[in-house]
A = this chain, B = another copy of it.
Amino acid sequence: MTDKRLAEGPIRVALLGCGVVGSSVATMLTTHAADLAARVGRPLELVGIAVRRAGKDRSELPVDPALFTTDAAELVTRADVVIEVIGGIDPARDLILSALKHGASVVTANKALLAEDGPTLYAAADAAGADLYYEAAVAGAIPILRPIRESLAGDDVRKVLGIVNGTTNFVLDKMDTTGAGFAEVVEEAQALGYAEADPTADVEGFDAAAKAAILASLAFHTRVSSADVHREGITEVTAADIQAAKDMDCVVKLLAICEKTGEGDDVGVSVRVHPAMIPRSHPLASVREAYNAVFVEAAAAGELMFYGKGAGGDPTASAVLGDVVAVARHKVGGGRGPGESAYADLPVRAMGQARTRYHISLDVADRPGVLAQVATAFAEHDVSIETVRQQITDNGRANLIVVTHTAPDAALSATVDALAALDIVTAVTSVMRVEGS
């Protein structure tokens, strides 16, 4: 059977981009060629690698130098499978749309594009009867999109909690273990290659927000774009916040949170990225350094966790190649993978409607009636207090730590404003949401 298939010729693969991930993909396509052919049923032939600069020395790659081209637009017209690892919106979008239009299936790691304009790509794939796969776009090597969109396709996913950005996890982990401040740790992360020279996309949560949009779209069968995601980064996380978490036996993590809220006709989704305290006993708390992990709660499956490397050339290439094998198998044997599934079309709730819990630390005067005033501020916003703890400080003042029950985020936020305005409150020293309990 294999011989007959081989006689039909190889699957032509075009690679767009030859940076860290592209180099790993090109290398694996070459060195694993025999295994890939056996798994697909036909050889995969790398027919071209589109690069921006033609002259760069790429002699360390085990590929024919004649494969490099600066004409990506031409390359996509002569492939059965197009791998896009350029990143960013332009020219990646036009190249992917052109590839699909020419009948190629597309494998991409482009989280930004998928989160901004996924439905356009899906529509083009549907029109062409081609596949659009993107496992590498979220959490690198960790198989998480295929499990959500295929393994859990018979279940009701209620919540996804992900550590999906290695840079911010490295920074928060170092702040936790060393007590150092944000700026100092970012410098260390840059020196070690864990953070970019301009770390904005990571530390401000843009990268995690794109991944949250992709996760939520798949988990809830609902279109969610980056613009729908409430986003707060970690630049304002202080050593005091980290210490406050420690005092609660918690750690601070930047979480991508996708949650189904309400019941019956009132079901909606909340999609957000923000730092949060989680208990040290939670499986996500032990995710250290630049590792990623995604925690999923489904009605029947219960709690699942997926853990591994979220970035890097080889781990990301592993995810890309898994998708390449899948779409190439479809080219050989027929059929298509799942397309867009947005039938549920659930409303995306504003952040103010999300039900969250707050940990609030206040410096207050140490005199009678203070606790009553503070408690009144919570009550006036219908926020129920779970625990309150008071510590007397040296200067005759007190530190008050309040953890709330869940309440609408808007009510919690308004409570913090009201507390800050009280005469007896000298400073709101730490405000952080609490997740995972």
6 pairs of residues in contact across A and B, judged by CB atoms under 8 Å: A141-B301, A143-B147, A155-B322, A300-B321, A301-B319, A334-B334
Q: Does A62 contact B (CB under 8 A)?
A: no
Within 8 Å by CB of A308, from B154, B156, B305, B343, lies B305
A161 to B323, CA, bound (A): 24
Q: Once the chains bind, are A153 and B314 in contact (CB under 8 Å)? A: no
Nearest-Cβ distance from residue A13 to partner chain B, whole angstroms: 11
Q: Which of A26-40 contact B (CB under 8 A)?
A: 28, 32, 35-36, 38-39
Nearest-Cβ distance from residue A116 to partner chain B, whole angstroms: 25
CB-nearest residue of chain B to A44:
B154
Comparing A325-333, A365-373, A400-408, A414-422, the segment that makes contact with chain B is A325-333
Q: Which of A304-329 contact B (CB under 8 A)?
A: 304-309, 312, 314-315, 317-326, 329
Q: Does A298 contact B (CB under 8 A)?
A: yes
Nearest-Cβ distance from residue A51 to partner chain B, whole angstroms: 22
Q: Does A221 contact B (CB under 8 A)?
A: yes
On whether A314 and B302 interact (CB within 8 A), knowing A143-B151, A322-B150, A326-B153, the answer reads: yes
Q: Does A102 contact B (CB under 8 A)?
A: no
Within 8 Å by CB of A154, from B156, B305, B321, lies B321
Within 8 Å by CB of A315, from B32, B135, B300, B318, lies B300
Q: Which of A148-167 contact B (CB under 8 A)?
A: 150-156
Q: Once the chains bind, are A38 and B343 in contact (CB under 8 Å)? A: yes
Q: Which of A1-18 contact B (CB under 8 A)?
A: none
Copies in the complex: 2
A348 to B36, CA, bound (A): 22
A309 to B308, CA, bound (A): 19
CB-nearest residue of chain B to A326:
B150
Q: Does A24 contact B (CB under 8 A)?
A: yes
A38 to B346, CA, bound (A): 14
Q: Once the chains bind, are A301 and B308 in contact (CB under 8 Å)? A: yes
Known: A302-B309, A304-B309. 19 other contacts (CB 8 A): A32-B156, A35-B156, A38-B343, A39-B153, A39-B221, A39-B341, A143-B304, A152-B322, A153-B325, A155-B318, A301-B315, A302-B308, A302-B312, A304-B306, A304-B307, A304-B308, A329-B338, A334-B335, A335-B336
Q: Which 6 A-B pairs have the closest CB atoms?
A: A335-B335, A154-B321, A143-B151, A141-B301, A143-B147, A300-B318
What B residues does A299 contact at CB under 8 A?
314
Q: Does A286 contact B (CB under 8 A)?
A: yes
Q: Does A101 contact B (CB under 8 A)?
A: no
Q: Once the chains bind, are B307 and A154 in contact (CB under 8 Å)? A: no
CB-nearest residue of chain B to A317:
B300
Q: Once the chains bind, are B304 and A28 in contact (CB under 8 Å)? A: no
Q: Does A208 contact B (CB under 8 A)?
A: no
Q: Once the chains bind, are B322 and A28 in contact (CB under 8 Å)? A: no
What B residues does A28 contact at CB under 8 A?
154-155, 300
Q: Does A142 contact B (CB under 8 A)?
A: yes
